[in-house]
């Protein structure tokens, strides 16, 4: 059976924002000084997300500063205006079992932005009980989108991960590790790029899985459907890619963004997931 070619998980992000759920002591939202903007030339293989992380900004802020209708379409050699660096909007108290990635997903920011703001050299090492400063999000009001995902108990998420992983021939520990890396097993998380839920599924990814991989009418806003969508897509990436690391990189950035050599961001993501797998065996 011929399979429709799908170029990337983040082809068309919905411009949906999610106001951070502040855990800890909230502080004021502010930006660094006057609205001075630098310029940056896009390099091959870069995404708006990686550029935002490099400058401690957000995808939404960069897209707004450059009038980008599709924040997932940037071209090597293109020059972007980079707004003044975003500063802290809140603080988060690290809970046992949390990762920097799951905290970044909760607040719709990037791991690199959190690491830079908190002077973290090893993004795989954070201490429960420590306080992290969280970069501010854009102040734009959220726009209408699909129904908001609702929180579900972790036990329900784990049961869904186990059931769908076994059903689709994906190692259970791998599915659980990806879900933990993406969201910390939280369904009520929407990233600044528009990725939803436990598996951080983009709306276009959901459409692709539903129409080309036999998902049917799975709803990314429903926890069990979200897990199934993510697991089906993860299995598809495993079928398309020659190694686990490349499959994970493809899940993270879309297969069309996986080149001959993985980017540092892709390598980091794959390494994080693989390091989490023993926890779930």
- Could you read off the pLDDT of 156-201 as tens digits, one per residue? 999 999 999 999 999 999 999 999 999 899 998 887 677 889 999 9
Specify which residues 274 forms β-bridges with: none
Q: What is the pLDDT of residues 9-52, one digit of tens each?
A: 443 333 333 333 222 222 222 122 333 446 777 877 777 777 77
* Residues 135 and 88 sit within 8 Å (Cβ to Cβ): yes
Distance CA 160, CA 153 (A): 11
Span 101-112, average pLDDT: 70
Name residues whose C-beta falls within 8 Å of residue 126's C-beta, 6 or more positions apart in sequence.
94, 98, 99, 100, 103, 120, 132
pLDDT for residue 105? 67
Catalytic annotation on 182?
yes
Instruction: Say yes or no to pLDDT of 6 above 60.
Output: no
Distance CA 248, CA 1 (A): 24
Extract the tokens encoding 86.
Answer: 């975003």
Instruction: Say yes or no to pLDDT of 69 above 80.
Output: no
Instruction: Say yes or no to pLDDT of 230 above 90.
Output: yes
Residue ranges of domains in the chain, CATH in brackets: 36-86 (3.10.350.10), 87-138 (3.10.350.10), 154-280 (1.10.530.10)
Given 46, 98, 182, 265, which residue is catalytic?
182
Instruction: Say yes or no to pLDDT of 80 above 50.
Output: yes
């Amino acid at each position: 059976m011929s399979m429709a070619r799908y170029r990337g998980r983040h082809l068309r992000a919905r411009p949906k924002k999610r106001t951070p759920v502040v855990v800890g002591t909230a502080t004021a939202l502010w930006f660094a000084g006057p609205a001075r903007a630098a310029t940056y030339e896009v390099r091959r293989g870069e995404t708006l997300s990686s550029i935002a992380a490099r400058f401690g900004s957000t995808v939404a802020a960069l897209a707004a500063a450059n009038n980008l209708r599709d924040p997932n379409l940037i071209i090597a050699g293109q020059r972007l205006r980079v707004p003044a660096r975003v500063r802290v909007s809140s603080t988060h108290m690290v809970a046992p079992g949390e990762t920097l990635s799951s905290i970044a997903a909760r607040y719709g920011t990037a791991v690199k932005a959190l690491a830079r703001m908190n002077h973290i050299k090893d993004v795989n090492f954070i201490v429960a009980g420590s306080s992290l400063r969280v970069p501010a999000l854009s102040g734009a009001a959220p726009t209408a989108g699909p129904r908001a995902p609702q929180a579900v108990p972790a036990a329900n998420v784990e049961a869904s991960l186990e059931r769908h992983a076994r059903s689709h021939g994906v190692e259970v520990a791998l599915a659980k590790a990806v879900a933990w890396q993406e969201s910390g097993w939280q369904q009520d998380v929407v990233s600044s790029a528009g990725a939803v839920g436990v598996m951080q599924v983009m709306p276009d990814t959901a459409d692709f899985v539903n129409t080309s991989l036999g998902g049917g009418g799975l709803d990314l806003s429903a926890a069990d459907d979200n897990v199934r969508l993510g697991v089906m897509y993860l299995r598809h990436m495993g079928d398309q890619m020659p190694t686990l690391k490349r499959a994970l990189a493809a899940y993270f950035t879309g297969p069309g963004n996986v080149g001959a050599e993985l980017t540092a961001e892709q390598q980091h993501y794959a390494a994080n997931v693989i390091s989490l797998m023993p926890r779930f065996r």
